[in-house]
Structure 1
């Protein structure tokens, strides 16, 4: 991680769960972190006074392109640019394909796919324009990005995560064609105890009493591992499963 000390990481969905854990893990390793989320007060609360990295809390909505562009503009004007992008923000809404609301599907696609893509585009263009050839982009995906949906009401969410996996490979090929050494990868965890069930109807907190799960810090450690490898190594996909969980 030495090469990233004093440099800038943008973490989306930084206000809670995996985003918050990754934010603090980076701060402890001397990375300056811009935490982007709608609940900016919760990002501010992540500051670690004894950590060498500095935290910058920005309010932003990943479903709105103008909000994303404003965040990148602020970073460019105040911190020079982004060296690491962690695309963590995501929404799960459990609605059937035969009766689901269009606005629910739109919300998931806007954040999980389009918001991620806009952030990625802006980060890559920023890195290339500044001559940054050792940047890193990490998508926080899901085990459901590799498997069929667990239930019919999670099919649209799973579809967004399959899209993330396809977009990652497209990004890798794009960078190879550009002869860029910017690395990319994704972390695909199974069940993690976070606030992702907030927008669900059929999936409740009782699920954590029934099945083994991981903590957000476990995913953060995977991100640090990915970032810590020698520049010649591109850790492309880390799949994390809770020990003993049958799914």
Structure 2
């Protein structure tokens, strides 16, 4: 998919940019004229992506970052390389599925830390940028949640709970940010072909996910990136606040 949008002059931050949805969002935004900061713990992957974007004529800055850590230096690096941020996409996330009775607190902490606390941390780090951008132009905060925020799936209780928190947080942030000129979009993908499920350690749950993907052909990361580009390129007065993006055959 090579669709482009009118994003010339915009400066974006994409978390979880090293793979899947984050990578395709970064490519779409850069192709559309935005400068893009690529945040990920996997520095080599985002360095490679930045090189590919540059080779295609875009502007990208690879930034090694842990979304749960102090982001002071990350913000300074982004400002030095690209300037003030007016488009923030909180995409970093992890999905670890096991029966709740297994009591996997290690997985629970990791999902809560990345999916929720990390999102809060990044949003706080760049909120001053968004407020300033909303005062004299367009500012967007786009949070990648999941249809799991509304649906129930055996073995995914804690993951879906973190995504329900993201969806509710997005709605509440809009009550504060809208008056400041910041658009808040909560994006909830359905089944997407990404690495998200590759870190699970339960063979039975993995087999179930594989069977589901065989039954319901998933969307591609580019499909989700296309929706992000569309939402961010609307006129300033238009806020697509809630978007659920599903494969057509996913019930």
Could you tell me how far apart the structure 1 residues matched to 2:93 and 2:231 are? 20
Structure 1: where are the runs of 5+ without partners? none
Match of 2:225 in 1: 220
- TM-aligned CA deviation for residue 50 of structure 1: 5.4
8 A Cα contact 2:61 2:78, kept in partner:
no
Could you tell me how far apart the structure 2 residues matched to 1:120 and 1:132 are? 19
Structure 1 residues 161 and 84, CA gap change in structure 2 (3 angstroms) = same
- Pick one of 213, 219, 243 that aligns with 1:238: 243
- TM-aligned CA deviation for residue 128 of structure 1: 2.5
Structure 1 residues 51 and 182, CA gap change in structure 2 (3 angstroms) = farther
Query: Is it true that 1:69 corresponds to 2:72 in the alignment?
Result: yes
Greater alpha carbon shift after TM alignment, 83-92 vs 44-53: 44-53
Greater alpha carbon shift after TM alignment, 5-14 vs 48-57: 48-57
Runs ≥4 residues deviating over 3 A: 49-52, 129-133
Query: Is it true that 1:206 corresponds to 2:207 in the alignment?
Result: no
Could you tell me how far apart the structure 1 residues matched to 2:250 and 2:187 are? 18
Structure 2: where are the runs of 5+ without partners? none
Query: Is it true that 1:143 corresponds to 2:112 in the alignment?
Result: no
Q: Deviations over 1:98-122 (max 9, x none)?
A: 2222121111000100100111122
Give aligned pairs, total: 239
Greater alpha carbon shift after TM alignment, 112-121 vs 45-54: 45-54
Could you tell me how far apart the structure 1 residues matched to 2:125 and 2:243 are? 24
Could you tell me how far apart the structure 2 residues matched to 1:129 and 1:30 are? 21
* TM-score, length basis structure 2: 0.89
Structure 1 residues 111 and 11, CA gap change in structure 2 (3 angstroms) = same
- TM-aligned CA deviation for residue 181 of structure 1: 1.0
- TM-aligned CA deviation for residue 133 of structure 1: 4.6
Query: Is it true that 1:12 corresponds to 2:15 in the alignment?
Result: yes
